Amino acid sequence: MSNLLKSKFFLGVMIVTVMFAGVLAFTSSASASDCSLGSTTLKYGSTGTAVTCLQETLGLDSSYPRGYFGNVTKNLVIAFQSANSLTADGLVGPMTKAALSVAPTTTTTTTTTTTTTADLCPNGNTLASNCSLAPATTTTAEALCPNGNTVASNCAILPATTTTTVNANGLAGTFGTISTITQLSAYNNEEVGDSAKDVKIMGLDLTASADGDIALQSIKLTFDATGYGSGDSTRITDFLSSVSVWMGTTKVATASTADFTKDDTGIYSKTIALSNAIVRADKTEKFYVSVDAIGNMDSGDINSDSWTVGINSIRYVDGSGVVTTDADIMPAALEWNAAGDGVGIAFVTFSTSVDTELKISLDSASPVAGISTVNATNNTDNVVLAKGKMKLEGTSDIWLDELPFLFTTNATNADEVSSTVYLTIGGNTYSESMTATAGTTEAITFDNLDLDIVAGSTTTFSVLADINDIETTVFDEGDYLTVDLDATRRALMVVENSEGTQLTDGTEVSGVMSGNKQYFYSIAPTISVSSVSITPVDNGSSSPASAIAKMTLKITADGGTIYLNGDDETTAANEFITLAVDGGTVTSTTVGSYTFTPSGTYTVTNNGANDEYYTINDGDVMYVLIEAVISQGTAGPAVLAGLKGTAILFDTTVPDGTTAPVNTMNWTTLTDILKSGKTVVTGA
SS3 readout for 146-205: CCCCEHHHCCCCCCCCCCCCECCCCCEECCCCEEEEEECCCCCCEEEECCCCCEEEEEEE
If phi > 0 it is left, if psi is from -120 to 50 it is alpha, else beta; for residue 517 that is beta
If phi > 0 it is left, if psi is from -120 to 50 it is alpha, else beta; for residue 115 that is beta
Quote the CA–CA distance of 242 and 273 in Å, as a whole number. 14
Q: Pick the residue with more confidence: 452 or 668?
A: 452
Q: Determine the 3-state secondary structure of 38 from DSSP.
A: coil
What is the average per-residue pLDDT within 524-549?
A: 73
DSSP element (H, E) containing 4: helix 3-26
Q: Are 300 and 216 in contact (CB under 8 A)?
A: no
Question: Is residue 658 pLDDT above 90, yes or no?
Answer: no
If phi > 0 it is left, if psi is from -120 to 50 it is alpha, else beta; for residue 42 that is beta
What is the average per-residue pLDDT within 341-349?
A: 85
Q: Pick the residue with more confidence: 168 or 91?
A: 91
Residue 246 pLDDT: 97
Q: Are 411 and 419 in contact (CB under 8 A)?
A: no
Quote the CA–CA distance of 283 and 213 in Å, as a whole number. 9
Cα dihedral 521, 525, 531, 533, rounded to 10, equals -80
Reference 679, options 539, 547, 530; nearest CA is 547
Q: Are 392 and 354 in contact (CB under 8 A)?
A: no
Quote the CA–CA distance of 630 and 591 in Å, as a whole number. 5
Q: How far is CA 198 from CA 13, 194, 216, 445, 679, in A?
A: 44, 12, 21, 38, 56
Q: For 529, which DSSP code?
A: E
Q: How confident is the model at residue 607 (pLDDT cuts 50, 70, 90)?
A: low
Q: Are 289 and 190 in contact (CB under 8 A)?
A: no
Q: Determine the 3-state secondary structure of 7 from DSSP.
A: helix
What is the average per-residue pLDDT within 449-466?
A: 96
The shares of helix, strand and coil residues in the chain, as percent rounded to the nearest 5, are 10, 40, 45
Beta bridge pairs of residue 485:
513
What is the bridge-based pairing of β-strands 513-514 and 190-193? unpaired
Beta bridge pairs of residue 182:
205
Quote the CA–CA distance of 603 and 157 in Å, as a whole number. 94
Quote the CA–CA distance of 408 and 423 in Å, as a whole number. 16
Mean pLDDT of the chain: 77
Q: Are 508 and 490 in contact (CB under 8 A)?
A: no
Q: Are 205 and 286 in contact (CB under 8 A)?
A: yes
Quote the CA–CA distance of 662 and 646 in Å, as a whole number. 16
In this prediction the pTM is: 0.51
Q: Pick the residue with more confidence: 165 or 358?
A: 358
Q: Determine the 3-state secondary structure of 387 from DSSP.
A: strand
CA 495, 497, 503 angle in degrees (round to 5)?
50
Quote the CA–CA distance of 518 and 526 in Å, as a whole number. 12
Q: What is the pLDDT of residues 285-312, one digit of tens each?
A: 999 999 998 887 776 666 666 789 999 9
Range scoring the smallest mean pLDDT among 4-13, 504-513, 597-606: 4-13
Q: Are 548 and 535 in contact (CB under 8 A)?
A: yes
Q: Are 365 and 333 in contact (CB under 8 A)?
A: no
Q: How confident is the model at residue 673 (pLDDT cuts 50, 70, 90)?
A: very low
Quote the CA–CA distance of 676 and 364 in Å, as a whole number. 21
Q: Pick the residue with more confidence: 5 or 531?
A: 531
Q: Pick the residue with more confidence: 633 or 643?
A: 643
Contacts of 290 (CB under 8 A, 6+ apart): 198, 199, 200, 201, 243, 244, 245, 246
Q: Are 436 and 473 in contact (CB under 8 A)?
A: no
Question: Is residue 594 pLDDT above 70, yes or no?
Answer: no
Question: Is residue 95 pLDDT above 50, yes or no?
Answer: yes
CA 218, 220, 222 angle in degrees (round to 5)?
155
What percentage of the chain carries pLDDT values higher than 70?
70
Quote the CA–CA distance of 114 and 588 in Å, as a whole number. 110
Sign of CA dihedral 270, 275, 278, 284: negative
Count of CB atoms situated within 10 Å of the CB of 5: 15
Question: Is residue 551 pLDDT above 90, yes or no?
Answer: no
Q: For 97, which DSSP code?
A: H
Quote the CA–CA distance of 58 and 24 in Å, as a whole number. 8
Beta bridge pairs of residue 465:
383, 421
CA 35, 40, 45 angle in degrees (round to 5)?
90
Q: What is the pLDDT of residues 210-269, one digit of tens each?
A: 989 999 999 999 998 876 666 678 888 888 999 999 999 999 999 999 999 998 777 999
Residue 591 pLDDT: 60
End-to-end CA distance of the chain: 79
Reference 607, options 659, 663, 652, 560; nearest CA is 659
Q: Which amino acid is at 470?
A: I
Reference 334, options 183, 180, 178, 179; nearest CA is 183
Quote the CA–CA distance of 18 and 29 in Å, as a whole number. 18
Contacts of 94 (CB under 8 A, 6+ apart): none
Range scoring the smallest mean pLDDT among 124-138, 142-156, 269-283, 570-584: 124-138
Beta bridge pairs of residue 649:
664
Residue 251 pLDDT: 96
Q: How confident is the model at residue 678 (pLDDT cuts 50, 70, 90)?
A: very low
What is the average per-residue pLDDT within 401-409?
A: 96
Q: Find how far residue 108's CA is from the centre of its chain.
A: 71
What is the average per-residue pLDDT within 668-678?
A: 38
Contacts of 511 (CB under 8 A, 6+ apart): 359, 360, 361, 490
Q: What is the pLDDT of residues 97-115, one digit of tens each?
A: 988 876 543 333 333 333 3
What is the average per-residue pLDDT within 151-160?
A: 49
What is the bridge-based pairing of β-strands 190-193 and 343-348? parallel
Q: Are 325 and 314 in contact (CB under 8 A)?
A: yes
What percentage of the chain carries pLDDT values higher than 90?
33
Q: Are 44 and 90 in contact (CB under 8 A)?
A: yes
What does residue 37 show for φ and ψ, rounded to 5 degrees?
A: -90, 0
Alpha helices of 94-239 — where are they, by DSSP H? 94-101
Quote the CA–CA distance of 85 and 65 in Å, as a whole number. 28
Listed ranges 54-63, 122-131, 180-189, 565-574; the one with the highest mean pLDDT: 180-189
